[in-house]
Amino acid sequence: MTAPAAPRLVHRTAHIRVRVTRWQARRCYGLLRSAGDVWAWLLDSNRLRHQQGERPVTGYQALCRQLTSAGRFGELSVTGARSVLQRYSDAWFHAANRRGQAEKAGFPRRKRGLVPVRFYNGTFMIQGRRVRLPVARGQPALWVRLARPLPYPPEQVRAVTLLAEGGRLWLAVTAAVPIQQHHELDPGRVAGVDLGIIHPYAVVTQDAGLLISGRALRAESWLHRADQQARQTTAARRAPTRGQRGSRRWRRHRARLRRAEAQHRRRVHQAQHEAATQVIAFAVQRRVGTLVIGDPTGITEKDAGRVQNWRLRQWRRTHLVQALRDKAELAGIAVRLVDERGTSSTCPACQQRVSKPTGRRFHCRHCGLEGHRDLVGAANIAAKAGGGPTSVGLPTLVEHRRAGILPARRDRRRHLHDAQRRRRSCLASGHPPDDPASGGCRSPRVPDLTPGEDHATLPNRANVA
Ligand SMILES: [Zn+2]
């Protein structure tokens, strides 16, 4: 036996809100704006070269030499400015590579007001929840405070990136995390994962199943859509015509929309991360060494009707796959993607084609197998890679889990638009009946999500063929 090698490292990034005073916020935005100036300077100088028939400067080293002649950019330190050069250089070569492979790709050419600034190890300092960001020489130190504790040990942190998203300041903390060594994992143990909207993940191993309810996610999506529609409706008459300069009021409206959108996206991502964590915990507990995911690529290409199309686009399946992949890699579980076509319309017991069920319950009219539709899909996906239930039919042991937080009754989106109808916003605790005649609260309706839908199979009686 050789000595155990050093654990392999993977890079993981967490976005953390920063708490800042007004003065600190102004300085942070100043850094981002200066980075935007560096970005614009890069674009302009390369455009000038292009017009004079010269080759653009795109290599990082060459750009660094150019930077020294360009002078200072506000409070931005040299390392901060160089990170913008790195970003530009990476984007340029990425585009060039893709073009080399005859793909469509655009070189960076859009100017942006705020550009993220990345600081590498050694240039910043972390003290508990406080982080000191480097600024240009001669400027007072800039400290910011993290809104939540660092999810990684400070010595693992490799870089921090200051960015503004949805009108807020964030610090993206990147750490090199060692892969956990679960020696008991068996690569031969294969679990199938079916991705879905109703259930973000359905997992089937040899002897057990896991269903994660996406009820909170769907409620959040509906509420968000109703909210954004109501905002659009109320603001539509203030919309500037084409070519007209937008009013301040209109700009504020647009900023609010973007902020709500960013908040919604964060909630969905958070819930999907929670769901993926539960899948990995389940897999580790069952000693699963390989996860097989049904690849949903191309699902949006065919038209499935207005509502379903919208749902499919809201689903964020790429993130769903990526979140699971990242967590699996960290846990030392191998991941494979397989084509998911036909997996929800094939009977796992007799392999006959069955018409796709409309509800959650799968019924085979050839052999009589009954079960949860998503578990059937997961079992078929597992079977594609030589896994799946060892018994005929589906596993009888099915765990149910939830991901995300249901929008609260006090969620302000439920009441926001009552006030705009010159009606007193109803008290959240005593939600009046949703009767238009009573003039009560007209909150955006969240469709009735009957609890039965989440538990189409009862945990104990489930899937008995
Ligand atoms: Zn069958």
Residue 282 per-residue DSSP state = H
Is the residue at 253 inside a domain? Answer: no
pLDDT value at residue 134? 93
- Cα 268 from Cα 37, distance rounded (Å): 33
Interval between CA 365 and ligand 1 midpoint (Å)? 7
pLDDT value at residue 418? 52
Is the residue at 255 inside a domain? Answer: no
Mean pLDDT to the nearest integer, 380-386: 85
Residue 420 per-residue DSSP state = H
Band (pLDDT 50/70/90 cuts) for residue 298 is low
Tell which of 146, 172, 203 closes a domain.
146
Interval between CA 354 and ligand 1 midpoint (Å)? 8
pLDDT in tens, 47-56: 999 999 988 8
Domain identity same for 320 and 373:
yes
| Least confident stretch, 188-192, 300-304, 364-368, 369-373 | 300-304
Q: Which residues surround ligand 1, an ion (CB under 5 A)?
A: 347, 349-350, 364, 366-367, 369
Residue 455 pLDDT more than 60?
Answer: no
Is the residue at 443 inside a domain? Answer: no
Q: What is the identity of the amino acid at 30? A: G
Q: Which domain holds residue 379?
A: 186-237+264-402
Interval between CA 278 and ligand 1 midpoint (Å)? 30
pLDDT in tens, 12-28: 999 999 999 999 999 99
Mean pLDDT to the nearest integer, 247-265: 87
Q: What is the identity of the amino acid at 169? A: L
Interval between CA 287 and ligand 1 midpoint (Å)? 29
Interval between CA 462 and ligand 1 midpoint (Å)? 16
Domain identity same for 310 and 358:
yes
Tell which of 122, 146, 170 closes a domain.
146
pLDDT value at residue 299? 65
Is the residue at 322 inside a domain? Answer: yes
CA distance between the termini of the chain: 48
pTM above 0.85, yes or no: no
Angle, to 10 degrees, between the axis of helix 22-51 and the axis of helix 60-70?
Answer: 110
Domain identity same for 104 and 201:
no
Percent of the chain with pLDDT over 90: 33
Domain identity same for 318 and 195:
yes
Is the residue at 415 inside a domain? Answer: no
Residue matched to tokens 């996610």: 217
pLDDT value at residue 221? 87
Number of domains, the chain: 2
Phi and psi at 10, nearest 5°, equal -125, 150
Contact at 8 Å (CB) between 308 and 210? Answer: no
Contact at 8 Å (CB) between 175 and 12? Answer: yes
| Least confident stretch, 108-117, 228-237, 389-398 | 389-398
Residue matched to tokens 């960001």: 133
The CATH number of residue 364's host domain is 3.30.420.140
pLDDT in tens, 92-142: 999 999 988 888 888 888 999 999 999 998 899 999 899 999 999 888 999
Residue 7 pLDDT more than 80?
Answer: no
pLDDT value at residue 346? 86
